[in-house]
Amino acid sequence: MADQKKFTPMEILYIVIAFLVGIVFVLSMVGDDIKITAHVPPNAIVYVDSPSKIYYAPPYIDNNRYPVTLDVTQLKAETVSASQALNHTPDTVCVEQGYFQEQDTLNHTILWKLGWADPKPSRWNPDGSWNW
């Protein structure tokens, strides 16, 4: 144990710099390919079809992207958490089109957390309304 080499302050500095350069290199190679997913917040407002127990994203309904067989006059607005408490499920088309989640890259998230980039605008406002 007494024969262990002790690093000088300059050697420690070189090791730290090499480590940081390695991290930056790896992030530059794969940081834009790694996606971080945020799911719809519990207070987000959705449109619910009670008989079928399916809820829809408001942009899907408001922009007339729904199937013609859906009677939108019977839909009611409620929060995602209330819908899930009643065992309602999201519409499969809305899920496939990504309405109930948003993604950001690892690089942008790190830059945002460090304060070097603006946060990506969310598709949901704090009050639960959709930001579309």
pLDDT at 1: 55
pLDDT tens-place string over residues 78-129: 999 999 999 999 999 999 999 999 999 999 999 999 999 999 999 999 998 9
pLDDT tens-place string over residues 46-76: 999 999 999 999 999 999 999 999 999 999 9
- At 18, the pLDDT band (50, 70, 90 cuts) reads very high
Every domain of the chain and the residues it spans: 9-114
The share of the chain scoring above pLDDT 90, in percent, equals 89
pLDDT at 72: 93
Three-state SS string over the chain comes to CCCCCCCCHHHHHHHHHHHHHHHHHHHHHHCCCCEEEEECCCCCEEEEECCCCEEECHHHHHCCCCCCCCCHHHCEEEEHHHHHHCCCEECHHHHHCCCCEEEEEHHHHHHHHHCCCCCCCCCECCCCCECC
Q: With 70 as the cut, is the pLDDT of residue 2 above it?
A: no
